[in-house]
Amino acid sequence: MGQLVVVSNRIALPVNGKSSAGGLAVGILDALKKNGGLWFGWNGEIAEISGEEEPVSKTSHDGINYASFSLNQNDYDLYYSQYSNTVIWPAFHYRLDLVDYQRTAWEGYCRVNQLLAARLAPLLSEGDIVWAHDYHLLPFAAELRKAGKNPPVGFFLHIPFPAPEVFNALPDHKTLLEMLCSYDLLGFQTKNDKQAFLSSLDQATGLTKTEEGRYQAFGRTFSVDHYPIGIEPESIRQIAAGPLPPKMVAIREELGDAKNIIACERLDYSKGLPERFLAYEALLEHHPRHRGHIRYTQIAPTSRGEVQAYQKIRHQLETEAGRINGKYGTLSWTPLYYLNQHFDRRLLMKIFRLTDIALITPLRDGMNLVAKEYVAAQDPENPGVLILSRFAGAACELTSALIVNPYDRGEVAAAIDQAITMPLSERIERYQQMMAVLTHQTIDRWRDTFLQDLRSVGRLTGEPQDRG
């Protein structure tokens, strides 16, 4: 039996002999520990020489092998900053108005995927299976086949897959679809994402389905399914229930009976932050009884600060926060705290437990694990309320949250009002229903189900059946 090879844009290299991974990467590391394997990708560094010239750096830690190399500045700019994050990211989040397509960026994107395949090929052995992750690597399997390697290769997309009307607007959409068909198994977060991909394929070429539940297009046979990502609810519960730092104790005492709203995500236009600020303002305007008795804290650390769209939204949020506080704040009450900084994940879990309401309203999101983490962090005897966008993948599972349309500020404001006044019995019932989902669809289940299906494809018998 060969090894599991995980390929991602960037790998979490161990630092000072310890793993630096967090969140989703923990699930990947667990798979590598159980099966023995290799994690391969970019090391996050920019080098003066090209990736072809630099030797692959190898290291091992805790039974896992790591192999990585640097990118030069030109490849990083074209592949990562430009095509990945100014073409695919906005398009897949339904923001065609923010797409900045350049032919040179497309060529750089394909070139780096070709480079990744060429650098990985000598490291593969008979019986290995390969699991590639996310939108940076759409062409990877096709490039690996060109390099003469044909192991079972699976792909998981962590972000949404857009409807055909959106995806087909990309100049290279048909080429991308053909490249994706070089994977043996394609996994998506939700049934809607899976169907959007199949519908795009059906419009682009002849798509047929085999008796075994697999698909055929562009002369390839492959499997497609949805695999909703989960979390480790018990681990989060233990972290959240632990002792509080003194500063948090003081903050909680300062709040008194005031209701505390939390929202936490990286700064991104897909998260619906400006719309959320306006919805909160609508609450203060139309439900004045809550003024002075509620506080909204928005944590949004900067990401991709070199991209102009992200610079613009940061300025917009700073302006809106100042305007709302200036309009409704008093000498003794600040209605909105906007924190453009990173918080340690363990500390966040404790903050979640002490927060009455989570306001998670992305305009479009693949899953949104923060929503799941918030629920898992709650006190079972006095849980908070989750307000969740209908356009987050998690809304397909966490149906007992208050589901809202993030574009409707009146609806979001009404949901906040409902959350503030929700009886304890209803909060507990909703919490229990969501926890039943989280304890079933864990990150372990997500990982094991995907890998089981990929191995079935690799054996060419007992292929995974379509789960609808």
Nearest to 196 by CA among 243, 164, 155, 172: 164
Q: Give domain status of residue 123, yes or no.
A: yes
Q: Which of 161-165, 207-211, 246-250, 357-361 has the lowest mean pLDDT?
A: 246-250
pLDDT in tens, 205-234: 989 999 889 999 999 999 999 999 999 999
Same domain, 70 and 146: yes
Q: How confident is the model at residue 462 (pLDDT cuts 50, 70, 90)?
A: very low
468 lies in some domain: no
Identify the pLDDT of residue 468. Answer: 47
Mean pLDDT score, 356-374: 97
- Please report whether residue 215 resides in a domain: yes
* pLDDT of 318: 93
The pLDDT of residue 382 is above 60: yes
User: Is the Cβ–Cβ distance between 56 and 119 less than 8 Å?
Assistant: yes
Based on the fold, state whether residues 196 and 299 are members of the same structural domain.
no
Q: Looking at the whole model, is its pTM more than 0.85?
A: yes
Q: Is the pLDDT of residue 465 over 50?
A: no
In angstroms, how far is the first alpha carbon of the chain from the final one? Answer: 31
Let me know whether 198 and 335 are in one domain.
no
61 included as an active-site residue: no
Q: What is the tally of structural domains in the chain?
A: 2
Backbone angles phi, psi at 441, to 5 degrees: -95, 70
Q: In the annotation, is 225 catalytic?
A: no
Is residue 451 located within the same domain as residue 425?
no
Instruction: Tell me the average pLDDT across 283-298.
Output: 96
Of 75, 134, 365, 453, the active-site residue reads 365
| 467 located within any domain | no
If asked whether residues 169 and 109 sit together in one domain, one would say: yes
- Domain assignment present for residue 242? The answer is yes
List all residues 6 or more positions away from 377 whose beta carbon is below 8 Å from its beta carbon.
236, 237, 239, 240, 349, 350, 352, 353
> Is 395 inside any structural domain?
yes
pLDDT value at 408 more than 80? yes
Helix (H, G, I), strand (E, B) or coil at 28: helix
Min mean pLDDT across 86-90, 168-172, 221-225, 459-463 is at: 459-463
Burial class (CB in 10 A: 0-12, 13-18, 19+), 125: exposed
What are residue 154's DSSP bridge partners?
131, 185
pLDDT attached to residue 30: 77
Q: Where do we find the tokens 């983490």?
A: 373
Query: Which residue range(s) make up the domain with 307?
Result: 233-440
What is the tens place of the pLDDT at every residue in 137-148? 999 999 999 999
User: Rounded mean pLDDT of the chain?
Assistant: 91
456's tokens: 């079935």
Give the residue-averaged pLDDT of 334-346: 92
Q: Does 290 share its domain with 436?
A: yes
Q: SS3 breakdown of the chain: % helix, strand, coil, rounded to 5? A: 45, 20, 35
Number of continuous H segments (helices) and E segments (strands) in the chain: 17, 16
Residue 295 belongs to domain with CATH number: 3.40.50.2000
Burial annotation 151-187 (CB, 10 A radius, 16+ → b, else e): bbbbbbbbbbbbebebbeebebbbbbbbbbbbbbbbb
The torsion defined by the Cα of 451, 456, 457 and 459, in degrees rounded to 10, comes to 130
Both 41 and 165 in one domain: the answer is yes
* Residue 158 covered by a domain: yes
Give dist(CA 129, CA 124) in Å, integer: 9
* Cα dist from 36 to 2, 28, 238, 415, whole Å: 9, 11, 28, 47
Bridge partners of 15?
Answer: 18
Residues 199 and 313 grouped into a single domain: no
Same domain, 101 and 226: yes
For 3-39, b/e burial (b = at least 16 CB within 10 A) is bbbbbbbebbbbeeeeeebeebbbbbbbbbeeeebbb
Q: Assess whether 372 and 240 both reside in one domain.
A: yes
The stretch 351-360 carries a mean pLDDT of 96
**158, 408, 448, 466: which one is catalytic?**
158
Task: Report if residue 466 sits inside a domain.
Answer: no
pLDDT tens for residues 5-62?
999 999 877 766 555 555 567 777 877 877 779 999 999 999 887 656 678 999 998 8
Max Cα distance, the chain (Å): 70
Give percent of the chain with pLDDT exceeding 90: 79
Say what the pLDDT of residue 156 is: 97
Nearest Cα to Cα of residue 235 among 442, 464, 466 = 442
Per-residue pLDDT reduced to its tens digit, 187-205: 999 999 999 999 999 999 9
Residue 267 and residue 177 share a domain: no
User: Which of 236 and 250 is assigned the larger pLDDT?
Assistant: 236
Band the pLDDT of 113: cuts 50, 70, 90.
very high
What is the 3 state secondary structure string of 287-329? Answer: CHHHCCCEEEEEECCCCCCCCHHHHHHHHHHHHHHHHHHHHHC
pLDDT of residue 84: 97
Same domain, yes or no, for 248 and 183?
no
